[in-house]
Structure 1
């Protein structure tokens, strides 16, 4: 046992030497192994296993031969001197150089990572080889082992040894490729450093023409790819429908092909989006380096990180999808040997479909990574340009940055409001954002509208007065017109600023809840004022009675109306009272009102003489209306007095005082009675409640 362990240790240490076989030796072993495969054998399980192991060993030996050639080629490339490089001619060539540096860096990193993985894989393979050598030695020492078993053990040992040698050759090839990638990267980096030390490159006409050609070629290629993807989907869909109608069980492959076609459509559209991103990025670069446009740098700083995050998320999604697809393909390979021949054919077709899908996903990941790399390179160019900028350019950049900040603040969305829009008879909810700019524009438009409204209504009032319109009436019309214009300008400013009325729904509800009861009377009076304006139960200058109050209407406001009573006092009456209570308009249709005065005289007086005297008094008073004609009537007789009633009409207008006219008539009656010798009633005052002069106004028209 000790000798066997020492043999294993020596074998493991000598494995690198064993792996270095010449190409002639490998060719001889491959030829001999092929002859052994061609020899007929029995159909036992051991014979089948022996044939399988021979095929595996043959494959490994052929791969070693190919790796020997690859290693020789890689060593020759590494030993060859680098070609002389021409000086850079423009911005596009510089970007190509930087892209090559990134590609070489990625290649070197990938080879280094794979070498680290191969170390662990070689350790496992070496341990497996040691175990196979020990097993073969045990069978060789045993005398009763069947020859087929010893041959299987020996072949298994050879296969393990060939795998170790194959890993060593692959590691050598990867190491040479890594060194070559590092050499190329060092040379490219040296050329870039020479460019960075010199003056900044300005894009030439050749750069722009070449860039335009590249982008157009890619756009044309993607358009053709999109047309092919649509045609592929039509074919896949037709095949899937035909398989579904036939009722056969083989619909899995057509369904997967349809999934492939749909994925190709999505990936092509995503590639077109990536191309649009590259076009926009190059446009910004040209604006900055060719036109010295400071706003291009601001736009790049704002849009670049967002686009890179989007590409990163998309690339992560594609990577996860590809990983899941590889797991599915591995599970499919595991089940390949345990199915029937007919199912094996279907699985082979399914594996081909999944292989195509995986290649497309990997292509999409590479496309997204290239777009990310371009954005990163252009970002570095922008930052380099900013670092080398002079004070004038720095000032321009800061000015542009401040303008961009103001624009961003202006477009900052405070909140969004869902608004229902009728589209072709269907209700659609659209989110409308309320930004800072809209909140600023709305008050400005409202203030401008109010200023125009004030000036317009003031000019209209002055013009109306010059045309003879009553001052109070002109003021009333102006006030109501101004209120309507304020409402109109408020709605117009909100509409022009793009702020939907639904934005005030929450605030309006909160205000209604908070101050609803406090503003109940205010809104009631406002609505009543509108009703008064529409129905016009009284106008300016009308004499009205509301309860015990009697006076002339001198103003009608939104909330209240102003009435001047006989004492000259102005009383504010809420409009809700004028709507809810009974209002007596003495001058609604006519400004003529009837007045009544009662006169008591001695019963011994001649009635007709008294009536003539009273009629003459009314005719001599200049402020009584001649039509209707004043009337004197004897309404009652008694032993104490004769009761006469004087009925006359007055025109209610400015300067007409009903109480003063009644007093004048009483004085004139007393004077006329004295001249005519008519005695007053002795027991009652001629102006008492039965015989007092009553000057109550009637409502009959003149």
Structure 2
């Protein structure tokens, strides 16, 4: 069949034919240069010496001349090419195709093979002449090694050229297929399409994406390798230039070696460029394949059909697979019994031997590994059998979803169940991967032991190799299991995607779904206490009940505290009843909330002991004050409104709380006193029985005062003061003969509820005493001192006028003193 050639292919063939015809001419020129060395100018040319050596034994041109011929250059251009500092990495595609065409590569391979034969012959002659006494490698042997490497690289270039040709054909075929898909039709397929076919297309798209990522990574690696080859060629060219600049007859062989090394680097660069071209072609192929699969998937679109016959076919396939797996399990079971008997026999032989050698030890280990391989294989197959009903159910559910035969709640339940199954498969896959890593390590250790034996003990080596094979079998089994897990996950994922990809919900469906989700959260079980479920709803209801109960208990107790005084209950008693009622209601509501949540009180048996220990050590003061507050409310040694004195502080009780009591002083300062203070220390309650108080006022009068008048006036002042009770009557005491006064104290009873009232009455009594004493000319004493002066003669006293004393008077007073 005639094939239409592209411009690039035509140009490549033309250049190949040109090189094929030019090559013999260049070879002849090279032979002429070999026969006439004096015609060639520069003695520093590195290839002259090699050409003169090759001339007597062969008419084949030198390898460097072959390279010049392929490049279309004459031998006179050798120095200019060798002097080039580097070779461009990225050249035109046409040049690379011409340089690596089949004809050019065949000619290059023939020339290298001819020169290699000559070099090998010279190496043999040199070895015979030297008698093999020199252990150092000769220049000929180095040339042979380099030529062999060049020959291998050229062979790789030929393989790469063939791959490029195949890739070109594949790219052309894929482009034609993509063009045909532009019509919106798939060959050999007519709509509607099977859902199984759609699944295959989706899997193909996924695989195409994976191949594209791999191809892109390969392009990056190939580009890096080409850059490295270019740098290597630059280094070889630099080395060759330096050796040519310092060349001597003794270094001609080194120059020849350097030329071959540069040639090898050039060929390696060509090979790396070919590999880069192949990687780019693979990338283009991967892109085209992805476009084709995506195009097919777009064509299929919604033209999908899922019939009952298709479902039955899939279920039949699962049944057949189940039969095959059961047969494998039965076969593995028999093999496992046989392996166990072999291992037990080897174990008994090892135990019966006093000094078991390494052969018996390795035999037991190898048989044990073989047994474990069969056991793991059987276990993995059983797991596959357990997944088959799940996969069958997934296909049945998918059929119902596609055919719109499933209700909304069923689909939601299926989606959640499928999600859980996918998560379980993910966990199983991770476990398989860990096991594979472990097997790789074990296999590496066995390989190291085999290398260490090195044929010294064939029996041990045989068992080690058997152990290695068993580990390799296990790795194969686990790899197959991972693949099975991947297939199962894809099946379940398709069902989940089918459910998630349904049309949008209506408002009523959204409300229904929200309500269902709320109910699921409300009924979510947080804990299980004595076969009693503790759910989120019960916890929330209990907390809400406690909050509402707290508010109601506070409201009811406050209402009761306000009503009781109106019913004849004392205010202090009403306050105590209010506090006790609040705590009782709060405890009752707490127990009710726990009962509503179905939390048995027996749970707090151990908790109560732990709390008691913790409270006894860590919360001793808090609990002490709390219990003291309860005792104060129950026994009522003090009440709200009582006038008390605590540690010298006098004030009225305003609040008796659970932890502390608040006292307000006459200065309107609130003092917080812990409840334990009222039980542990001496507390004076001035108004415990009633609000009658006996108080007193102390006063001193001057010596010489009429004491009867003082007693009468003091009693009268107290009696006439408002606020002082008539009964008991005020009483006056003559307490003491003081240093500066005669001390009297008047006692009287008053009716006061706080310090302010008491102080006001005392102040009034003092004012009346002062007023009466002034009228009666009774002097209220104050501190005074008597000064006694002893002198030998009377003191002369003189009155001093308003103008002040004279100097004479002052002198007289001083003399008298």
Q: Do both proteins adopt the same fold according to a TM-score greater than 0.5, normalized to the shorter chain?
A: no
Q: Normalized against structure 2, the TM-score is what?
A: 0.38
RCO higher in 1 or 2 (8 Å CA, sep ≥ 6)? Answer: 1
Q: Normalized against structure 1, the TM-score is what?
A: 0.43
From the CA coordinates, give the structure whose radius of gyration is larger: 2
